[in-house]
Amino acid sequence: FFHKWNKEFSLKQLKDADRIGKYSSHEAKYILITFFYYFEDDLEEAEIYAKQLFTSFPDNPVFERWRGRIAVRKGEWKIASSVFNDVLNKVSKNYDRYNTAKVRREANYYVGSYLKNQSKFDEALPYFKKCIEDSKKIDNDKESGFQINATLYSGTILETLGKYKEAKKHYEAVLDMREFKDSHDKAEDYLARIDKIENQKRK
């Protein structure tokens, strides 16, 4: 969409469409969100348009999830948790376009992550489990980052709870998946850590 030779010109066109257009304004806002989020790493600008779209369409799962995603990237986990809990509430009430595996997966992942960060491990596990279940339904040729991380995080929680056998199954499952960032290195390190603990107990 953006002219390679004139990014500023393209950006001005989009902002003009947002300001002047009636229907094109919504499309322009959406493009501006993705542009600032993915290409400029400007979360403040992306958030401006995400808030505007979500305010105009509070029951649109695409716009609501963008609001939550940006909060996650900004480290505003309390806001993110509130947004994605609202998404799950709408899932439970079967709001239009909310009760899909893709929407449920993302919302469960981030709510589970927030609870894990709060050391509410028993509460976090069911969210990661649901994330994994939905990921398996829609991941095709390769596992998504959601599935891989949710499996790895479940393993770390189970390990923290002293459930080493279950934790090892999750780490081994991660090793059977594709590499996502440093997921294999982490899984191998965590397996070695459990083996060391178990060996010490046998002595």
Type of residue found at 162: G
Q: Which residues of 47-68 are buried (b: 16+ CB within 10 A; e: fewer)?
A: bebbbbbbeeeeebbebbbbbb
Q: What is the pLDDT of residues 44-90, one digit of tens each?
A: 999 999 999 999 999 999 999 999 999 999 999 999 999 999 999 99
Q: What percent of the chain has pLDDT above 90? A: 82
* Closest to 35 (Cα-Cα) out of 25, 49, 17: 49
CA atoms within 13 A on the CB side of 129: 9
Answer yes or no: is pLDDT of 18 > 60. Answer: no
Given this model, what pLDDT does residue 57 score? 95
Answer yes or no: is pLDDT of 10 > 70. Answer: no
CB 12 within 8 A of CB 26: no
Q: What is the pLDDT of residues 127-179, one digit of tens each?
A: 999 999 999 999 998 999 999 999 999 999 999 999 999 999 999 999 999 99
What's the token pair of residue 199?
């060996």
CA atoms within 13 A on the CB side of 107: 22
Q: What global pTM score does this model have?
A: 0.88
Element (H, E) at 58: none
Q: Report d(CA 43, CA 144) in Å as an integer.
A: 23
Given this model, what pLDDT does residue 27 score? 87
Answer yes or no: is pLDDT of 1 > 60. Answer: no
